[in-house]
């Protein structure tokens, strides 16, 4: 059903990249994909400038904290049913930079964030418009770690039909 909704949204705009990239469901699908399968495990380390209390813990000035993107994206307090693919959650509300941070956060987020998301939307829309797929997916795909990034496991196959 989600695939049908997405194809309906993008079909009329296939050859117009700017309006295509602004479509709400396409954006939500890309964000939900990045939430479930972030590209990197952690964001840039931060040194706190003053004592910070968060989640019943106190971190004194000078403490180095390293945000874990994957942990932030799996918090049940933020994302109901966090393991479920549900792009509608991004249509229903806007998440803060500390709740959704696939490209890091704050002043040290990835400089290529806007371009990466734009490219992701255009590639996904183009591929979905032109092809039908089958996968060998039986269970949840567990990404493999390669250096500081995550990639699909070698066993995963997507076939054009």
CB 87 within 8 A of CB 25: yes
| 76/46: higher pLDDT | 76
Range 73-102 average pLDDT:
95
Joined tokens for residue 84? 């479920």
CA gap 61, 58 in Å, rounded: 10
Model confidence pLDDT, tens digit, residues 124-144: 999 998 898 887 776 777 888
CB 43 within 8 A of CB 105: yes
Secondary structure (DSSP) of 43-89: ---EE-SS-EEETTEEE-TT-EE--BHHHHHT-TTTSSSTTS--THH
CB 39 within 8 A of CB 49: no
Predicted local distance difference test score (pLDDT) of residue 145: 86
Predicted local distance difference test score (pLDDT) of residue 52: 92
Fold type of domain 2-160: Cytochrome p450 (1.10.630)
Spans of all domains in the chain: 2-160
pLDDT band at 108 (very low <50, low <70, confident <90, very high): confident
CA gap 132, 91 in Å, rounded: 25
Of the listed ranges 16-30, 44-58, 139-153, the one predicted with least confidence: 139-153
| 81/41: higher pLDDT | 81
Predicted local distance difference test score (pLDDT) of residue 41: 86
């Amino acid at each position: 059903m989600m695939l049908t909704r997405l194809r309906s949204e993008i079909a009329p705009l296939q050859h117009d990249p700017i309006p295509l990239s602004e479509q709400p469901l396409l954006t939500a699908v890309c964000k939900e994909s990045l939430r479930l399968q972030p590209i990197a495990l952690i964001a840039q380390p931060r040194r706190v400038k003053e004592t910070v209390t968060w989640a019943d813990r106190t971190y004194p000035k000078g403490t180095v904290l390293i945000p874990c993107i994957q942990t932030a994206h799996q918090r049940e307090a933020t994302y109901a049913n966090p393991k479920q693919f549900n792009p509608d959650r991004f249509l229903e509300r806007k998440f803060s930079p500390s709740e959704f941070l696939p490209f890091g956060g704050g002043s040290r987020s990835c400089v290529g964030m806007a371009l990466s998301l734009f490219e992701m939307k255009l590639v996904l829309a183009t591929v979905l418009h032109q092809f039908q797929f089958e996968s060998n997916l039986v269970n949840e795909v567990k990404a493999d770690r390669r250096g500081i990034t995550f990639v699909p496991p070698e066993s995963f196959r997507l076939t054009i039909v």
